[in-house]
Structure 1
């Protein structure tokens, strides 16, 4: 590869200034740790701890439900205390939690610990976003989030490799939670090297749970939940469909996720261009829905033909189209989240906006997979139709929320300050 091309690729993931490099390094440590644990957790808990697959699945689902509360709760805390200190505390707490997994020997202890760890883990996203909002100018936040997501996919892939190596021997399985714990400590140490950031103004009489009382903002979250269906489709619904309802060779199915991951790494930063404003982000969100609907309709075609080559080609094409939808919707979500969050309550609002992905992770697999398995071709068509409706609604919903934000912005005299 020419040096100029290599330099261009490196610039996508390695910022020129030290602050952004530190933020990227934190994301890398966190993502490797999560890659190790998420990819190796089922193997660890079934083979090392001795739990059943059903018990592990129930525990991990319970951890997901805990994020419905913690995402907003920690966002509110981040608005009221030093964000750098809070994020460091969260990573240290996670390190302790992952370390304790090595001592778990019964299902009750597993359920308690996995819910506690999940509760803390879902708090890192809004805290990180709030801290980023303090340290980085508004026009640069979406691009930096895109870089961090590309780096996350790189780190997550590395973590999968570490987990696979640990799974080679029963004696090494305990390294799965312990390695994750070490990486959380590394992330915590890196957070302490960030600057304090500028003081952020907050209203003296700020209402609690303002984000979930903001109906226009909740409307944007609801529509975004539909547009984020690509999460469930790529990870769960499409692989399940390919394995059970098509003639596609089974060995190709895991390769689809690899293809999707590489695509996101290469093109997420480029897809973030134009999403820096609410108007631009809503337009990109609308287009992401078109791509998502097209991907669903492409998969639907496989219900009409059993030819292996045609089916395989259609599914691979669908993954490409769905990957485009993914990077566009992710970029639009960052733009909408930052753009519609009041400066004095960024943590709370960004935590609430995270619910569009958290809820998709919880309810998406059962609903979307159930629809396509039960109704086949028409199931995919129905999903595409709902997505197109969401595409039409996202821009009006964003405009309404933006008007509400402008009308409710506090006057300077009403503000006090809190350290970031």
Structure 2
């Protein structure tokens, strides 16, 4: 299918992603208070639900990706999006712990598989890895713009702190998923792959070089919890820096990603370049951690300035990590098992994200500034072997690739 024929559908998908991300930004801003203040659930119950949902998400990522290969990613993605819309609407009417657990698992568990199916759909519609990455980068920009707008609306809901405001926000998020489902249904279909004796799920789970590459790359996704958990915890524990500084860093990150993600994707043209980009990403994130470790002492103004500088290194590291993850997971996947392989990549990232908040909580509360140095060492240790791992994975590919 010619790229010119699918561009209108991809543009609609981009707008759909932006609208859906607006709902996500709204939801992620209010969910903690809605669960504890409106539904009156205990933190333990909320934590249990999130843990169960995260575990289910890990288990479902590869099977959902394999379903996208077998039946076509568009239909699978539309179905998942409708299910998640219904689950979000369920938060409006649930009562009791068991209903809450069921709705939370139903909403959260398919998310990683949906991302895998969406990436497989883009890969099926767009020829050439460079164009695929440009398309994915554009969607990530739309996603972050939507998040920012949604978070702003969520702040208004929190400032009003009225039950009706929370309920309206949840209804709006459910509606945003329905918009995304409707838009996705208009994108040209990708044909299912021919069935073989070895399913895509079995194939990827036996592909040790690919799993090693995406597993090592996924560790760099600690950068997300570094911003959402590590930095706010650090600022609140030191008691020296204004809490608003954490919000300023989030703004810097959002703007940096929106402006630079598409250009950053050009750094990962080819497997070798992507692996080198991942190495530099790990170094940039490590530098950010080392800088943050120095802010426990000294003049407050200097420490605040160092946090801002650290945030710039963080943005560079996150941009490089995202570009490298696409530049490694997409060229190394076989075209007949796109969904399953992207499911494995998403599953690896989900595994890291499941434990990431605990990593920062334990290291920073137990070790203080030394905790930042430990995380810095992890970033370097996971990224340094990637060029060798990528060469190993390339040697084991048996399918001709698109040239870039």
TM > 0.5 fold call = yes
Q: How big is the shift at 1:369?
A: 2.9
CA distance in 1, matches of 2:155, 2:227: 22
Give the length in aligned residue pairs: 392
Instruction: Tell me which residue corresponds to 1:124.
Output: 114
Counterpart CA distance in 1 for 2:113 and 2:200 is 20
**Which consecutive residues of structure 1, in runs of 5 or more, have no partner in the other structure?**
1-15, 411-420
Q: Do the aligned partners of residues 246 and 234 (structure 1) sit closer, same or farther apart at CA in structure 2, a change above 3 Å counting?
A: same
Distance 1:245 1:164, change over 3 A: closer
Task: Say whether residues 1:314 and 2:302 are aligned partners.
Answer: no
Instruction: Give the CA RMSD over aligned residues.
Output: 2.0
2:164 aligns with one of 168, 171, 193: 171
Mean Cα deviation higher: 380-389 or 332-341: 380-389
Deviation sequence 1:90-127 (CA, Å, 0-9, x none):
11111111111111121221011101211223321011
SS of the residue corresponding to residue 405 of structure 1 reads coil
Matched, 1:72 2:62: yes
- Structure 2 counterparts to residues 14-413 of structure 1, below 5 A: 17-138=7-128, 139-167=130-158, 168=160, 169-197=162-190, 200-201=193-194, 203-206=196-199, 208-245=201-238, 247-303=240-296, 305-406=297-398, 409=399
Change (3 A) 1:112 1:79: same
Unaligned 5+ segments in structure 2 are 1-5
- Per-residue displacement from partner, 1:143-187 (whole Å, max 9, x unpaired)? 111111111111112222333344422222211221111111111
Alignment CA distance shift 1:165-1:384 (3 Å): closer
CA distance in 2 between counterparts of 1:240 and 1:208 reads: 39
Q: Distance in 1 between matches of 2:157 and 2:371?
A: 40
1:246 CA displacement: 5.3
Rounded Cα–Cα distance in structure 2 between residues aligned with 1:328 and 1:292: 10
Instruction: Tell me, yes or no, if the aligned pair for 1:288 and 1:325 is still in contact at 8 Å.
Output: yes
Q: TM-score, normalised by structure 2?
A: 0.91
Aligned-residue offset at 1:247: 1.4
The question of whether the paired residues in 2 share the 8 Å contact of 1:292 and 1:321 is answered with yes
Q: Is the 8 A contact 1:63 1:115 kept in 2?
A: yes
Q: Is the 8 A contact 1:247 1:306 kept in 2?
A: no
